[in-house]
Structure 1
């Protein structure tokens, strides 16, 4: 039986302080429940969405008192009733009136799209229906676990983005790579270029005309065949740690996009490691509204701790020591 559809009337929305500063494409995705992103972009490209009577690009940032015209949109009732499950409570490690910091599980996308019907942010909104605003301040790969900042106020979101642009947020990760990493501390500055594969999957490679990217790598521990590293991100490019380290000849264990696939298969069988070993472990920054210092740490998930114990039991550890 075919899904019925409901036709919306022309809407005019006036932008308040909570929505000011948001990109119009993200704003439309948020208020047009059940409408695919691809359709939202078509509405923008065709000029059917207007701000103050004029066309705007999808990157336009809304301002207070902007009047947004939203045309009639066909909304599938099947999509409309595809409810995001409440699910298990997401672990919150820090929260105040302006923001919260989650410990995201591995395997869960931060938002819906690209074949994923919902992600962390949709689930969080479902769990907190009375929240006026919940917006991602940054992203983590689906396969990565660890600290994720969510803004609860528009002013906090804008300030967090400004902090990130200016390098004001320290982001520290922990990973295990294939190979014996020797340098106690190394800066990697190689530009990264984002592209799509033939089947439409997003990938990144080192390329001279790519965007500048800077990672600082610290040796934590080293075994016979693998090494545990700490990585501080000075920029936040897509797949930055994965591509930087793979380009150096040290792919992340468990990485199903850039890794050593034969090694991954062996580690899954011998050590039970079925995910990528990459964890966002520590964040430090000045609070976006008060300026007070914020420092949050997320412990390694049990499956990653178990893998380190397996390494200690099965391989000889050498001069690389924890810092």
Structure 2
């Protein structure tokens, strides 16, 4: 496979399911030919059939994109090497029979350490040729659990998120709706807080990671299991272990030089939780 920059193979099986580890900033698929170098695979992508194609010698190869991740999101993403297994697993995704675990570093810890969020998210719809922004409400549900809440640094919490529905930007929107925006999210996040984190740690990526995908599926008359795991990126630890006055392991960006006497701009500051 012509893997994109930083993309690595996690696992695959005999039926043609392939799990890749996608870095933040890499696109699930290119929208134009110019974006191919930024995509999961550096290959031609047919948007209608949702399939990558490339040649090795005279042999043409194909890989169907089973699911997608937003460009800023890292972690497990699945491909299929034949249309039969592609159809089977996509059907499981559409009926919510695939278990997915995400990790998000968010601003502030939820008051209740474990629970579920049920929301009605706005979706754009077309009426004829007219676009109605937010014209439809669709249900979204996610289970969450607080994994870690560091003390003495940024007021953040590491959450384990288990979406029970699959809506566009669901986790990012739900985190924002419940006042726990994902750190580094440039669309739904806290822009001032993102700026502080970037100043002190040098980390600008969105802190949302697809950590695990697993399923039990029927194929050719038998049941099979598939599981892929991606470790949490170091960027999460960099932000969580930051303490004012201590080197966070990253070179500060130029704006950090505004702090008096070379001290952290956040030293002595008390965040509200």
Considering the TM-score relative to the shorter chain, is it more than 0.5?
Answer: yes
Q: Which of structures 1 and 2 has the larger relative contact order (alpha carbons within 8 angstroms, sep 6+)?
A: 2
Q: What is residue 16 of structure 1 aligned with on the other side?
A: none
Q: 2:42 aligned with 1:112, yes or no?
A: no
Given the alignment, which residue of 248, 264, 277 partners 2:207? 277
1:157-236 mapped onto 2 (5 Å cutoff)? 157-195=86-124, 209-223=136-150, 225-236=155-166
Render the CA deviation track for 1:189-217: whole Å, top value 9, x for unaligned: 11222349xxxxxxx97x8x422211111
Q: 2:26 aligned with 1:96, yes or no?
A: no
Query: Where does the alignment leave 5 or more consecutive residues of structure 2 unmatched?
Result: 45-51, 126-132, 249-266, 268-273
Report the alpha carbon displacement of residue 272 of structure 1 after superposing the two structures with TM. Answer: 1.6
Q: Which has the larger strand fraction?
A: 2
> For residues 33 and 137 of structure 2, what CA distance do their matches in structure 1 show?
27
Q: What is residue 286 of structure 1 aligned with on the other side?
A: 216
Native 8 Å contact 1:213 1:234 kept in 2 = yes
Report the alpha carbon displacement of residue 122 of structure 1 after superposing the two structures with TM. Answer: 4.2
> For residues 304 and 242 of structure 1, what CA distance do their matches in structure 2 show?
16
The 3 A distance-change label for structure 1 pair 179 and 161 is: same
Give the TM-score taking structure 1 as reference length: 0.62
> For residues 145 and 74 of structure 2, what CA distance do their matches in structure 1 show?
19
Equivalent pairs counted in the alignment come to 222
Render the CA deviation track for 1:7-63: whole Å, top value 9, x for unaligned: xxxxxxxxxxxxxxxxxxxxxxxxxxxxxxxxxxxxxxxxxxxxxxxxxxxxxxxxx
The 3 A distance-change label for structure 1 pair 186 and 295 is: same
The 3 A distance-change label for structure 1 pair 238 and 180 is: same
Describe the SS at the equivalent of 1:182: coil
Aligned CA RMSD, in angstroms, stands at: 2.8
Structure showing greater Rg: 1
> For residues 186 and 308 of structure 1, what CA distance do their matches in structure 2 show?
22
Native 8 Å contact 2:156 2:240 kept in 1 = no
Report the alpha carbon displacement of residue 257 of structure 1 after superposing the two structures with TM. Answer: 0.4
The 3 A distance-change label for structure 1 pair 229 and 86 is: closer
Describe the SS at the equivalent of 1:227: strand
Q: What is residue 71 of structure 2 aligned with on the other side?
A: 142
Native 8 Å contact 2:10 2:21 kept in 1 = yes
1:122-137 mapped onto 2 (5 Å cutoff)? 122-123=42-43, 125=52, 129=56, 130=59, 132-137=61-66
